Amino acid sequence: MSTPRLFHAALIGCGSYGAEHAKFLSACSGVKLHAVADIAADRAEGFAAKYGAGYATTDLARIWADPEIDAVWISTQHHTHAPLAEAAAAAGKNFFLEKPLALTLADCDRIVAAVERSGVIAAVGFKLRFFPAVMVAKRFLTAPSLTAAHVIDDHWPSDFWANDPVQGGGNVLSQGCHITDTVLHLHAAPPVRVYAAGGNRYHPTRDIVDTAAITLTFADGAVANLSIGDVGVPPHASKFALQTSDGTRSLSLYNRLNSLMTREGGKITEHPAWPENGAAVIDQPFIEAVTNGGPSPVTVQSARRTTAVVIAALESIKTGRVVDLTAAPYAAAIACPA
């Protein structure tokens, strides 16, 4: 009896979150971590040794030309997402790309166009959609009216690359996109308007927004408030939290969105906390999608929509104006299905 062929994965970006993917891919049954790549040879070689990859390289042409590879994970700085995604698509490689999709609308459009042209299966790292508590919450309350959500972290070092305006865009874009994506995922209608206030409170050497209060209006009249910043983790609610109500039911997600309380007819249910499961929560559905020929668990179109909302919020902070998401340059990104 022949052994079934292993799923061959390659990883580009042997850094801190690349390690989460490498850990999962090297331990997952049916998967072989076939190759690892980085611009720094020592990082790629260190990953190959630690996670048992078939080979390490600094030459991405080798990855693009390798017919054994079923999918490539891209876990690099944000300004590299568009060129690497384009290269993957041009090589006909299915790819998983870390969040945010990119730093500009133009780069988001480049990625979406490359995927649509090539027909590869591509997914983006908005993993919170697959947290069990979030999935239960979405089933419990299908059309929120009013949501309050946050991602509030401890201070990021000013010299952290993610605080670099060119490479990272700052924490509001870099991880604010996670909670924005969760709010868009839970709401029933598309967002139509965004107003935001905020600025730079802690990183005067960086041209970034580090603190933001964002108000979203949805097409069905629902509204949401998002607080994002690296101002100090709230001790009770935790770094990621979200509360929402639909007029009849309400719920609270807390403990980094791993715990859930629901309330209906005056009855409160406290669900047992789910364990947080690293990158597995999104890597597993992506592998299944590639194996089955789709659909993607988090499409590049939906990741563009989320990223566009954060970019619009940053524009609102800069101009002091409400941004109409149904008009150019946001309309195309927002019109995409979730």
Q: How far is CA 87 from the centre of its chain?
A: 20
Nearer to ligand NAD, 83 or 263 (CB): 83
Q: How far apart are CA 217 and CA 250, in angstroms?
A: 19
Residue 126: which of 71, 196, 176, 189 has the closest Cα? 176
Pairing outcome for strands 71-74 and 7-12: parallel
Should residue 80 be labelled a site residue for ligand NAD when binding is judged by CB under 6 A? Answer: yes
What is the nearest approach in angstroms of ligand NAD to the Cβ of residue 242?
16
Residue type at position 20 = E
**Which member of 34, 99, 150, 206 binds ligand NAD (CB under 6 A)?**
99
Question: What does the block give as tokens for 252?
Answer: 């609270």
Should residue 120 be labelled a site residue for ligand NAD when binding is judged by CB under 6 A? Answer: no
Should residue 15 be labelled a site residue for ligand NAD when binding is judged by CB under 6 A? Answer: yes
Site string for ligand NAD, 169-208 (x = CB under 6 A): -----x----------------------------------
Q: How far apart are CA 328 and CA 73, in angstroms?
A: 32
Residues 210-239 that bind ligand NAD (CB under 6 A): none
Nearer to ligand NAD, 287 or 323 (CB): 287
What is the nearest approach in angstroms of ligand NAD to the Cβ of residue 191?
22
Q: How far apart are CA 264 and CA 129, in angstroms?
A: 23
Q: How far apart are CA 200 and CA 216, in angstroms?
A: 21
**Which member of 57, 75, 244, 250 binds ligand NAD (CB under 6 A)?**
75
Q: What does the angle CA 58 – CA 162 – CA 10 come to, to the nearest 5 degrees?
A: 30
Q: Are 215 and 196 in contact (CB under 8 A)?
A: yes
Give the interface segment with ligand NAD, choosing from 16-24, 112-120, 287-295, 300-308 (CB under 6 A): 16-24
**Which member of 96, 112, 125, 173 binds ligand NAD (CB under 6 A)?**
125
Site string for ligand NAD, 22-61 (x = CB under 6 A): ---------------xxxx--x------------------
| Largest CA-CA distance found in the chain, in angstroms, rounded | 67
What is the nearest approach in angstroms of ligand NAD to the Cβ of residue 201?
21
Should residue 90 be labelled a site residue for ligand NAD when binding is judged by CB under 6 A? Answer: no
Element (H, E) at 43: helix 41-51
Should residue 304 be labelled a site residue for ligand NAD when binding is judged by CB under 6 A? Answer: no
Report the SS3 class of residue 69.
Answer: coil
What is the nearest approach in angstroms of ligand NAD to the Cβ of residue 293?
25
Q: How far apart are CA 179 and CA 197, in angstroms?
A: 17
- Residues in the site for ligand NAD, rule: CB under 6 A? 12-18, 37-40, 43, 75-78, 80, 98-99, 125, 127, 161, 174
